[in-house]
Structure 1
C-alpha cells in the first residue's frame, strides 16, 4: 500500500506542477500494458498502451471513516477515490456505475483542466457501504500537452481513414488526454473509424498537436462468457470461459449489438436473458463484454452469483443455437428470431425473451412461439427434486430443447406458428427438440444411448421413459407405440428415438465432423443429418403425421443430395415401423423395391 500511495500521491499537484512529480518511466513491452496489432490488408502496425493497474480486494469490506457520508454512487465513488489516492476531487470524474443485489459498482476516470483521460481510470465496489474492491491506473505525467488543440482532426482524417482502412462513421468526436508509455500525456481527438464490410471498428486517438495516430481502441474485441459449452449437457461437466463464441456470419455485429450500440449485459439482437423483468439482466463482470460468473452448487439457484451464471449461460445457449441454426437455414427469411433482420427478409422485432428462474412454475420449461415478427418467449424454471434446488438454465439440453420448439414451429407452415397443434404433430415437436439437444452434445462418431434431463431431476433415467437407443432391447418403441398415447411428450419419445437411429446410420455411413456447428459444407453424417432435419421442417405440411414427416426427410434428401441416402433412410424408418405402408399407427417394415 505505501508504495502504491507513493506512486499515486498528489496527482493534482503533479498535474499542475509536472516538474515536481515522479515520472512514469518509459515502459518496455508488456502483455499487461501493451498490445501490438497488425491491421488491415496492408499490414499497418500500431502499438497501444494502457498504464498498469493496481488492484486490491478487501474480503468482507473496509468500514469507512465516520466522516464518510454515504450518498449517491457518483458522490461515494469520487469521495472515496480522491481520498484513497490523495488527490483533489476535481481530478476525478464519474463515468458510469450499476448496482446489483451484491454490490454497487462505480467507474471513474482521471481528468485535467476539465478534459478526461482515456486510459487513466479507477473502479470501486461497495457492499453495505463498505469498500470491497479498488483498482486504479491513475497517472502522474512528467509532461502534459496543452489543452487547446492546434490541429483540426478533419484535416488529417483522410490519412487516418487510409491507415485504418475504414471511414469516419459520424459518431460525435471527443477531446481526451492519453497517457503515453514515456510518461507524458498527449491531447487527442477521438474519432471512430469503421469498415462494415470486414467488421472492423476502431476508436482512433489522433494527436491534437501533430495529427499523428497514436493509438486505437478495437471495438471488435473478444467477448468472454463463463458457460457450459453447448456440447456439454449440464453443470456437472464444468463451466468454461469461452472467448468470443459468436458466429460472424450468423450474427455479423456480435451478440450484444442492438439498437445501434453494443450492450454490456445479457441482451442483444437475438435474445435478452433476464429474471422477472427485462430490466433485470446480468451486467458484464469486467470491461469489454466479459461475463465471468461462477456457480456454487451448494447454494440455492437465486443466491450469490448463481443467478448471473444462469442468465449468462442462457444468453450464450440461445445465441449459439441462433448461430448454428442460421447456418443450416433458420435465417431472417426463414422466420428466425432477431430484433433487426438487416433487410434480409422476414419480420424483425422478435428476439427471444429468455426468462431465467421464472416464478410461474417449477420442474419444467417452455417456449411460446408466436408468428414471425413477435418475440418467442422461453421460460426456464427451478427444479425442486433436490436440495438445494437445481436450475434448468444450467442444463443445456433443456434450453436447446425449448429453443428448438421455436425453430420447428416457425419453419413448419411458413412462420405462422400454427402448424404443430395436433397431438401427433405436437408430439413430434417434442421429439425434434430432444433430437436437436442430443445432436448438439455429440463429441465423436461413437453412438451412445442418450438420456435427457437427468441433472435437474437427479435421476439417471432422466425425464423420458426410456433412453434413446439403437438397441431394441434398451428402447423397443416403434411407430405403433404411438397408438392410444395422449401425452405429446410420450409421442415425442417415439419420434426422437426414430431420429436417434437416423443419426446413427448417417454417422456410421459418413463419419462425424467436429466443426458441424460452424461448417455446414462438410459431407460427414452429422452434417447431412442436421441439413435434412432443418430442410424437412420447411417441406412438411401443416400438422404433419409421422409418415408425412418421414416423407419430408426423404424429399429433403432428394432436394439436397440427389436422393443418395434414400435407401439408408427408408431402412432406418422401416426398422422402427415407419415402412412404406405404415399408417394409422400400424407398423410396417417394408421399403421401396429398389432398396431391398
Structure 2
C-alpha cells in the first residue's frame, strides 16, 4: 500500500496530524468560552469553475451558491437526517435543526468528499475541510511547487464542487431520483435514496488513474481519484475536471442502461467500451463551454494535464479531422482495440462528430444548465414549458435549441432506451429513437450522417461478435433514404 504521507515534508505531516488531533479533541482544554454567535453562511468556494477542464485552461475563482435549486433543493450541505445511510457518522461541522442535518464541510445530500491517503475503504472520519461560515476558500499550491497533499483542503473542495455541479446538470437532463441518481434523500420522488457519491481525493491505493464503482440503486457508489507522478511536483487528478466527469459518468451510464437496479450491463465488449466512451464524450462537451473555437475546428485530448503529455492518454485526440483522429467502426478490429478504453474512444469519437454537426446546424450555448424557471422566456429551449403542450394541453418534452445542449440531452435520453449490454448499433439506434421522441425526428438525417461519416452507417456490419467482444467488422457509409427526405 502506498504511504502518501511520505511525499510530504516531516513538518507538513506533523502539521496535518496536529490539525486532526485538535479537531478530534474539539480544540484546547480548560474553561469553556462562550459560544460564538452563528455566522451568516457564505457558501463560497475557491475552485476552477465549471467548464474549466484543468489548471492550464482557466484560473481559480470564488463562486457563491453555485447549486441548481431544482436539482438540489437543500443546497449542497444539507440532507434529511433520517436518510443518512451511516447513522453512526459524526461529521465535523454538523448541526441538526428539525429533521435536517447541515454540515459545514464537504458533506451533503449528493456527495461526501474527503482525502483517502491510506487508500482504505473506511471514509466517515477521513479529513475534510470545515468552515463555520461555509467559506471554502483555500490556496492552490501547485504553482508554488507544493506537493498535492499540501493543499488538500483546496483539492477536496474542488472535488466536492465538481461532483455536485455535475449532479445538478445531469438531474436537469433526466438523471433524477426515479432513474437511480446519487442522493441520500430523494424528496419522495421515487427511486432508492441512501446513495450519495463517496468521493475519495488523493486515494492512496494507486497512481495515474481513477475509477468509479457503481452498485445498484440504493447503494452508495465510490469514486477514487489519484495523484499522477508524471510531473514535478506531482499533479492531482482531482483538478482535471474531465477525469472526474468521466468517472462520474460511469455511474450515469451504469444506472441508466438496463435500469437502476441492474449494474451489470456495461462490463465488457462494445458495451463496456461505450461505458468508457460516454465519459470522454460528455467531459469533452462540458469543456467546450470554455474552450469552443467558433472558427473551428475543436480539438480535445483526454487527460493531457494530469498525464503531462499534449496528446493525452488516448490513441488520438477528439477531432472531426480524420487525419487527427482516423477512428471508424473497423478500427475495433485492430490490435490493441480489444480493451474497453480503446473501444470507448472510438465510440466517443462518434459522439464528438455528432455534437459538432449539431452545433454547425443549431449553434452553440455557453451554458449547459437549463434555466430553473422554464415557464419564462429563455435562450435554452425552443419553447417555454407553458408553450410546449399538445392539443389537449398536456406537457411535451422541452427541446434544447443549441447543438451542444441538444446533443447532451440526446446522449443521456438514449441511455434509458438502449438494452442491457448494448452494441454500437443498439446505442446508435437509441440516439435516433431519443430524437424521434424528443423532436419528432427532426434530426434523423444529421444523426445518420454523423455515424455514417465514421463507418457506422446503415450498411455497417459485424460477423462473429459475442457479448464479450470479437467479430469481424465492415465499415458502412450509407444513410437510409427515408432519414434525409
Alignment TM-score, normalising by the size of structure 2: 0.77
Task: Give, in angstroms, the shift of residue 262 of structure 1.
Answer: 1.1
1:161 corresponds in structure 2 to none
1:47-74 superposed Cα distances (whole Å, 9 cap, x missing partner): xxxxxxxxxxxxxxxxxxxxxxx9x977
1:363 corresponds in structure 2 to 208
1:421 corresponds in structure 2 to 267
1:281-315 superposed Cα distances (whole Å, 9 cap, x missing partner): 42334x33110011111111112xx1111111100
5+ residue gaps, structure 1, are 1-69, 80-88, 96-108, 110-117, 120-216
Correspondence for 1:302 among 134, 146, 149? 149
1:95-122 superposed Cα distances (whole Å, 9 cap, x missing partner): 3xxxxxxxxxxxxx3xxxxxxxx47xxx
In the aligned structure 1, how far is the partner of 2:312 from the partner of 2:28? 51
Matches within 5 A, 1:48-447: 76=28, 92-93=33-34, 95=35, 109=36, 118=37, 221-236=41-56, 237-258=58-79, 259=81, 260-276=100-116, 277-285=123-131, 287-297=132-142, 298-303=145-150, 306-415=151-260, 416-443=262-289, 444=292, 446=294, 447=297
3-state SS of the aligned residue for 2:216? coil
3-state SS of the aligned residue for 2:149? coil
In the aligned structure 2, how far is the partner of 1:492 from the partner of 1:74? 48
2:350 corresponds in structure 1 to 498
Q: Is 1:535 paired with 2:356?
A: no
In the aligned structure 2, how far is the partner of 1:232 from the partner of 1:77? 44
Task: Check conservation: 1:382, 1:390, Cα contact below 8 A.
Answer: yes
Task: Check conservation: 2:300, 2:318, Cα contact below 8 A.
Answer: yes
2:5 corresponds in structure 1 to none
Q: Is the alpha carbon distance of 1:76 and 1:543 closer, same or farther for their aligned partners in structure 2, counting shifts above 3 Å?
A: closer
3-state SS of the aligned residue for 1:557? helix
Task: Give, in angstroms, the shift of residue 77 of structure 1.
Answer: 7.5
Task: Check conservation: 2:115, 2:128, Cα contact below 8 A.
Answer: no
In the aligned structure 2, how far is the partner of 1:380 from the partner of 1:462? 17
Higher mean alpha-carbon deviation, 347-356 vs 274-283, is at 274-283
3-state SS of the aligned residue for 1:278? coil
Task: Give, in angstroms, the shift of residue 230 of structure 1.
Answer: 2.0
In the aligned structure 2, how far is the partner of 1:468 from the partner of 1:404? 18
Q: Is the alpha carbon distance of 1:248 and 1:573 closer, same or farther for their aligned partners in structure 2, counting shifts above 3 Å?
A: same
Task: Check conservation: 2:129, 2:156, Cα contact below 8 A.
Answer: no
Looking at CA atoms only, which structure, 1 or 2, has the larger radius of gyration? 1
Task: Give, in angstroms, the shift of residue 445 of structure 1.
Answer: 6.3
Task: Give, in angstroms, the shift of residue 487 of structure 1.
Answer: 1.2
1:375-421 superposed Cα distances (whole Å, 9 cap, x missing partner): 11000011111121111001111000000010000000011111112
In the aligned structure 1, how far is the partner of 2:152 from the partner of 2:461? 48
2:441 corresponds in structure 1 to 563
5+ residue gaps, structure 2, are 1-21, 82-99, 117-122, 372-379, 382-399, 463-472
2:423 corresponds in structure 1 to 545
Task: Give, in angstroms, the shift of residue 78 of structure 1.
Answer: 6.9
Correspondence for 1:509 among 361, 369, 372? 361
Q: Is the alpha carbon distance of 1:472 and 1:293 closer, same or farther for their aligned partners in structure 2, counting shifts above 3 Å?
A: same
Task: Give, in angstroms, the shift of residue 531 of structure 1.
Answer: 1.0
More helix by share: 2
Tell me: higher relative CO, structure 1 or 2? Use CA pairs within 8 A at least 6 residues apart: 2
In the aligned structure 1, how far is the partner of 2:282 from the partner of 2:26? 48
2:477 corresponds in structure 1 to 589
Task: Check conservation: 1:266, 1:281, Cα contact below 8 A.
Answer: no
Query: How many corresponding residue pairs?
Result: 391
Higher mean alpha-carbon deviation, 445-454 vs 223-232, is at 445-454
Q: Is the alpha carbon distance of 1:508 and 1:78 closer, same or farther for their aligned partners in structure 2, counting shifts above 3 Å?
A: farther
In the aligned structure 2, how far is the partner of 1:269 from the partner of 1:418? 26
In the aligned structure 2, how far is the partner of 1:308 from the partner of 1:288? 15
Give structure 1 regions of 4+ aligned residues with deviation exceeding 6 angstroms: 72-75
* Root mean square deviation, CA, Å: 1.9
Higher mean alpha-carbon deviation, 366-375 vs 514-523, is at 514-523
Task: Check conservation: 1:356, 1:380, Cα contact below 8 A.
Answer: yes
Higher mean alpha-carbon deviation, 435-444 vs 360-369, is at 435-444
Task: Give, in angstroms, the shift of residue 518 of structure 1.
Answer: 3.2
Task: Check conservation: 1:265, 1:281, Cα contact below 8 A.
Answer: no
3-state SS of the aligned residue for 1:375? coil
